[in-house]
């Protein structure tokens, strides 16, 4: 298997605290989703206000009972990410601890910020290697500080992401290999990976998380709201989408779909968040 490439993607795990509510950047353009004119019927009245309130609330990020990463209680700054293949498309997996350690060690050598090995852990999903990262004085505004870095390699017996295109919101999402497949496992997978996706951290809130089941598949959906600043003297735009994951009961294969639901415009005046007049 190809040697993992060496780009370190920093991630502050959102489960530990609130997300900023200030918007920025352009609107989401999910592949294959409906345009606003083709969107589902939007929520109205009280439901609209509930969405607006959550989007602007600095203390809200995910619903009650949402997945909390085991490192969420780590004091101070830290990073967590997965060692990836040479194309940075998918996360590597192995059930061999020493192979995982070799991949992570090679990855560490070429990272922008290297770390000194501290410890290693494992659970049902992954091997985890802990390093103390040391920043030089010319890296951003960090001067002479160290933080902990948690690098993970999935266990193939649990999660295999081989061949997943992480740049896409739709399509193949990997395979869950624990059998029999359960709704709890699909939910855990979906909520866990949400932490590591290419979403702007300051512009996303999970409004709801729910499971659907058929005889052949277990589905889990994250209803997500994105907030975008549209410039001076203009209201912000809020877009609500469903990110659906469906797992085949027999094979564990995951398929993903990203569906635009509706958009609205809102603003925060002093301490009041409200929908803009249209």
Q: How confident is the model over 179-217, as pLDDT tens digits?
A: 999 999 999 999 999 988 777 766 789 999 999 999 999
CB 154 within 8 A of CB 125: yes
Q: How confident is the model over 118-154, as pLDDT tens digits?
A: 999 999 999 999 999 877 654 454 455 678 999 999 9
- The beta strands (E) that lie in the chain are given as 78-82, 115-122, 126-134, 146-154, 159-160, 171-176, 204-213, 217-228, 236-248, 253-269, 272-275
- Report how far Cα 7 is from the mean position of its chain's Cα atoms: 18
Q: How confident is the model over 33-51, as pLDDT tens digits?
A: 333 333 344 445 567 899 9
Quote the DSSP letter at residue 39.
P
Query: What is the structure's pLDDT at 73?
Result: 86
Q: pTM of whole model > 0.85?
A: no
Quote the DSSP letter at residue 14.
G
Structure tokens at 143: 């001067």
Backbone phi and psi for residue 127, each to the nearest 5 degrees, phi listed first: -90, 145
């Amino acid at each position: 298997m190809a040697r993992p490439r060496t780009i370190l993607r920093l991630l502050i795990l959102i489960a530990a605290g609130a997300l900023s509510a200030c918007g920025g950047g352009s609107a989401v353009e999910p592949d294959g989703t409906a345009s606003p004119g083709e969107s589902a019927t939007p929520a109205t009245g009280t439901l609209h206000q509930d969405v607006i309130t959550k989007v602007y609330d600095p203390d809200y990020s995910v619903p009650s009972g949402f997945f909390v990463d085991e490192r969420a209680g780590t004091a101070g700054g830290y990073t967590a990410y997965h060692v990836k293949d040479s194309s940075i498309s998918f996360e590597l997996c192995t059930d061999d601890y020493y192979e995982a350690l070799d991949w992570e060690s090679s990855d560490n050598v070429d990272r922008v910020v290297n770390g000194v090995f501290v410890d290693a852990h494992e659970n049902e999903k992954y091997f985890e290697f802990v390093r103390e990262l040391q920043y030089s004085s010319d890296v951003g505004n960090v001067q002479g500080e160290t933080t902990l870095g948690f690098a993970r390699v999935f266990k193939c017996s649990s999660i295999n992401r081989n061949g997943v295109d992480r740049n896409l919101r739709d399509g193949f999402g990997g395979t869950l290999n624990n059998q029999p497949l359960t709704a709890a496992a699909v939910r855990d997978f979906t909520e866990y990976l949400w932490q590591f996706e290419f979403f702007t951290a300051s512009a996303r809130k999970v409004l709801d998380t729910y499971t659907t089941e058929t005889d052949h598949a277990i589905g889990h959906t994250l209803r997500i709201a994105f907030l975008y600043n549209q410039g001076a003297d203009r209201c912000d735009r809020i877009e609500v989408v469903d990110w659906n994951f469906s797992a085949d009961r027999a094979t564990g294969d995951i398929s993903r779909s990203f569906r635009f639901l509706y958009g609205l415009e809102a603003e925060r005046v002093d301490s009041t968040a409200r929908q803009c007049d249209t």
